[in-house]
Structures are given as structure tokens and as C-alpha cells.
Amino acid sequence: MKTIWEAKELLAALPRRSLGFYPTHLHRLERLSQQLGVELYLKRDDLSGCNLFGGNKMRKLEFLLGEAMAKGCDTVFTYGATQSNHAMQTAAVCRQCGLNPVLWLVSVVEPDPGGLRANLLLDHIFGAKVQIVPLREGESEAQAEERSFQLGAEEAARLEAAGHRCYDVPMGGASPVGSAGFVSGWVELMEQGKAMGLAPDYVCHATGTGGTLAGLAAGRALLGQEQKTAILSVAVSPKDEDYEERTAALANRTLELLKASERVAPKDLWVERDYYAPGYEIPNEAGNEAIRLLARTEGILLDTVYSGKGFAGMLDQIRKGRIPQESRVVYWHTGGATALFAEREIIGDLAEK
């Protein structure tokens, strides 16, 4: 178990480029707390910078691009869906660092033929090289993603042969280097809580590729918080039975990168799989109800792909009593409100009720 100061010392040994505005605000939801009977806070990573469209990936990218620049790279490759928050944030901070972003994006939802929208529009404004990978007939989303990785590797090899140095950022920034960003995030939250006299009983968030969850779990293990703060991770896409094992392994590789002896076990992870249906980037009524609830009680926006479904899962756990009344709960707002301006298939009936 490490102190906050010792954890910061371990993180300081890694290459890092300052990109976001940290610490992000820990915002108490006064009206919603009263309505739900819990003490509810938002960790505002949606306001992390470097522009209006922040998000959780910024923490990971501080370490990922720190490593890329330390290696003398000039080009950064990454992957995602066409409306990927991660890809857009990568493009933005690459420009901040003087690097060239290349995005390989799978069209899970077909881009609007009438014009670019939301994150895909921003990718082009940032001048990223955008490569669209359409789903082939009979091809699954996972198969298309694998094809995008192969196509990206082939393009990177061509650029390397021409004298460029390329850095590969995995989908969602889910790597030990990227997850170190959320070890830092956990340390930041615990330091904020200590200053405020707030010891969270629960930290809730939306989980996709697992990089954020791995970092949070590693941070909790590092500071010895296993029994004091539960992490509720709400899946926003299908997860197989090995998801916890893979995510715990990523958390442990992150701890190894930090030269820390603490470890995370799959049983330490609490992943709820019942809130993403009918699929990734496809809205559901519970998620949209959660977006409307937060907007109409606190004036704060969530998105339909990640934070709305994550918030809906947390609300359901509170209403069912799995998160007891009077608990101190932090919801980690991972950003993504640009999805509110995406294709109709991603928004659903959000504005109709």
C-alpha cells in the first residue's frame, strides 16, 4: 500500500505530456442527491480540456503521447468507431503536440451521407487522416476492428519505410501506459476527497475497452482502498466472461510498469452487463431517461453511447438498494456529449419526451 505522495512519485517516473486541465472538478449534485437519497458527486472529466470537448481519454493520452514524444515519433495511429470520442481526442492532442494523427474508424453506424457530424466532423477540422472501414456483409464489429488494426499496421509500416516514426495507440487507449492515466486519476480523486472530507463509498463509470477500469482498479490497489471504495463499472458494449480477467491483467501490467508490487484480481472488479442493449452506439430508453433526468435536475449533459448508459446503470443500482441510501457516490463523467449531435441512430428518441 502506498501513500498519495508515494503513488505520485511512481507516476512521475513515466514520460508524460501535460494536456488536460487537472484536477477536474468534483461537483456535488444537490437536487439529484436529495431526490435519490444518496450523496452524489460528478467527477467532471468532461471538462478536462484542451478544448470544449474533453473526456476521460485525455488522462490516458498524457502518458501515451508522452511516450510517443520520448521515442521521437511524428505520427500517431489509433482506432475506434466513426463517432469515437477517443479518436477525436487523440486527433486534438496530436495537433497540440505537433504530431500527425491517423484514424482508422469502423462504421458501426453509417456516417450521415448529408454531411459530417459530431466527432467525425471534429476529426476533419483537426486535419486528421481519417480512414473509414465499412462493415462487410456478414462481418461482425469485432472482425471489422481486427481488419482496421491490420490495415493500420500496414500503413504504419509504409510510413516507417519512408522515414517516419509511428506510434500505435490501441483502441480506447487501453494499454498499461494509457491506464497509468487513470491510476493518476484515482490518486487525484482520493486527494480531492481527503481535502473535502469526502471518502467515497462507490465510484461508478461506463466501461468499454477496459483501460479506464484497469487504471481505477490499479489505483485503488496502489492506495490500499480495496475494502473502502467499491468501483461499479457499467458495460456499454457486450462483454464476454473473460472480460474481468483481461482487465485485471491489464491493471497488473500497469502496476508492473509503475514498479509497484500491489495486484488486482478479477474478483475485485464489479462489472454490470445489463445496461448496454441493444448494442454499442445504439441508444436505449434507460440511458436516454438518465440523460434527461440529469439535464432536467442539474443542467448537465451526458451522452447516449457511454455516460448515459453508465449513469442509468448507477441509478438502477441505487433504486434497487445495491447502492444503499446515504452512500457517498461519485459518478466519473467520461465526456462524450458530442454524440448528442451525431446520427439519429445514435441519439434515438432523446428529444421526444
Look at the block and give the residue holding cell 484497469. Answer: 214
Q: Return the number of other C-beta atoms located less than 10 Å from residue 242's C-beta.
A: 10
Overall average pLDDT of the 99-107 stretch = 97
In terms of Cβ atoms closer than 10 Å to its own Cβ (0-12, 13-18, 19+), residue 80 is buried
Cα 166 to Cα 93: distance, rounded to the nearest angstrom:
16
How much is the pLDDT for 141? 87
Overall average pLDDT of the 274-296 stretch = 96
Cα 137 to Cα 271: distance, rounded to the nearest angstrom:
32
**Band of pLDDT at residue 227, cut at 50, 70 and 90:** low
More confident of the two residues 350 and 175: 175
How much is the pLDDT for 114? 79
Judge if the upstream peptide bond of residue 50 is cis by omega within 30 degrees of 0: yes
Closest to 40 measured CA to CA, from 52, 22, 24, 26: 26
Query: How does 319-330 read in b/e, with b if 16+ C-beta sit within 10 Å?
Result: eeeebeeebbbb
Q: What percent of the chain has pLDDT over 90?
A: 90
How much is the pLDDT for 225? 63
How much is the pLDDT for 269? 97
Q: Tens digit of pLDDT for each residue in 304-353?
A: 999 999 999 999 999 999 999 999 999 999 999 999 999 989 999 888 87
Catalytic residue among 33, 48, 84, 233: 84
How much is the pLDDT for 40? 98
Cα 106 to Cα 149: distance, rounded to the nearest angstrom:
10
Distant-in-sequence, close-in-space partners of 304: CB < 8 Å, separation ≥ 6: 283, 287, 288, 291, 339, 340, 346, 347, 348, 350
Angle between helix 176-196 and helix 211-222 axes, rounded to 10 deg: 50
**Band of pLDDT at residue 237, cut at 50, 70 and 90:** very high
**Is 226's pLDDT higher than 60?**
no
**Is 253's pLDDT higher than 60?**
yes
Cα 283 to Cα 292: distance, rounded to the nearest angstrom:
13
How much is the pLDDT for 107? 92
> In the Cβ-directed half-sphere of 276, how many Cα atoms lie within 13 Å?
19
Structural domains of the chain, with CATH: 4-55+175-352 (3.40.50.1100), 57-173 (3.40.50.1100)
Q: What percent of the chain has pLDDT over 70?
A: 99
Cα 152 to Cα 95: distance, rounded to the nearest angstrom:
20
> In the Cβ-directed half-sphere of 123, how many Cα atoms lie within 13 Å?
28
Look at the block and give the residue holding cell 512519485. Answer: 9
Q: Phi and psi of 8, rounded to 5°?
A: -65, -35
Cα 130 to Cα 102: distance, rounded to the nearest angstrom:
6
280 and 236 in contact (C-beta within 8 Å)? yes
Q: Tens digit of pLDDT for each residue in 51-63?
A: 888 899 999 999 9
In which region does residue 321 sit, left (phi positive, over 0), alpha (psi from -120 to 50) or beta (all else)?
left
How much is the pLDDT for 50? 83
Strands of the 39-44 sheet, one edge to the other: 26-28, 39-44, 328-333, 202-207, 230-235, 270-272
HEC profile for 236-280? CCCCCCCHHHHHHHHHHHHHHHCCCCCCCCHHHCEEECCCCCCEC
**Is 183's pLDDT higher than 70?**
yes
**H or E element, residue 277:** none
Overall average pLDDT of the 223-249 stretch = 92
Q: Tens digit of pLDDT for each residue in 26-51?
A: 999 999 999 999 999 999 999 998 88
Cα 290 to Cα 330: distance, rounded to the nearest angstrom:
16
Q: Tens digit of pLDDT for each residue in 128-171?
A: 999 999 989 888 888 999 999 999 999 999 999 999 999 999 99
- Residue 84 annotated in active site: yes
Mean pLDDT taken over the chain: 95
**Is 120's pLDDT higher than 70?**
yes
How much is the pLDDT for 351? 83
Report which DSSP code applies to 300: -
Question: Poorest-confidence range of 106-110, 266-270, 301-305, 312-316?
Answer: 106-110
Cα 144 to Cα 92: distance, rounded to the nearest angstrom:
25
How much is the pLDDT for 199? 93
